[in-house]
């Protein structure tokens, strides 16, 4: 009889330990997922800046930059493109791309003020 009680007590203890650790494990997984999404979105912003920069080399307009990004298939939240500098032939133009990172429920609130950004300077041909 004493052996049965010990086995049942250990099962109950394992269930309680699992129930206590499950929220912490879920939170840890959410933080890891959020970090991966931020890295993915930063790579997307960097790619968008490169695509926009190549378009601006040939045709230095904001429309050309936006069209090139949309044709590349990138889908980023709050995407914003801006150009600065003289747009005449042979001059340098700075292309800046900004976007908001994708947010995971619960842990994404920590990123409320975060904006991803990438800038690229190109010479107009």
Going from the N-terminus, what domains does the chain have, and what CATH number goes with each? 2-123 (3.30.1300)
Q: Is residue 91's pLDDT more than 60?
A: yes
- Residue 110: per-residue pLDDT: 86
The average pLDDT across 65-91 equals 92
Question: Helix or strand or coil: residue 92?
Answer: strand
Asked if residue 70 lies in contact with residue 48, where contact means CB atoms within 8 angstroms, the answer is: no
Gap between the Cα atoms of 88 and 124, Å rounded: 7
Closest CA to 53 of 88, 92, 79, 86: 92
Please report which helix (H) or strand (E) contains residue 71, including its range: helix 62-71
Indicate the pLDDT class of residue 99, thresholds 50, 70 and 90. very high
Q: Is residue 2's pLDDT more than 80?
A: no
* Total-model pTM: 0.81
Question: What is the tens place of the pLDDT at every residue in 13-33?
Answer: 888 888 999 999 999 999 999
The whole-angstrom distance between residue 35's C-alpha and the CA centroid of its chain comes to 8
**In the structure encoding, which two tokens stand for residue 88, read together?**
């005449």
Mean pLDDT across the chain: 90
């Amino acid at each position: 009889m004493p052996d049965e009680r010990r086995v049942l007590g250990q099962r109950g203890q394992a269930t309680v330990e699992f129930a206590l650790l499950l929220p912490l494990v879920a939170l840890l997984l959410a933080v890891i997922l959020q970090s991966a999404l931020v890295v993915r979105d930063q790579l997307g912003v960097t790619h968008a800046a490169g695509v926009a920069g190549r378009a601006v080399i040939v045709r230095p307009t904001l429309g050309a930059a936006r069209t090139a990004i949309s044709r590349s298939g990138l889908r980023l939240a709050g995407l914003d493109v801006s150009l600065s500098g003289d747009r005449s032939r042979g001059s340098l133009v700075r292309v800046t791309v900004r976007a908001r990172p994708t947010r995971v429920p619960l842990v994404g609130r920590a990123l409320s003020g975060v904006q991803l950004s990438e800038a690229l300077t190109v010479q107009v041909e």
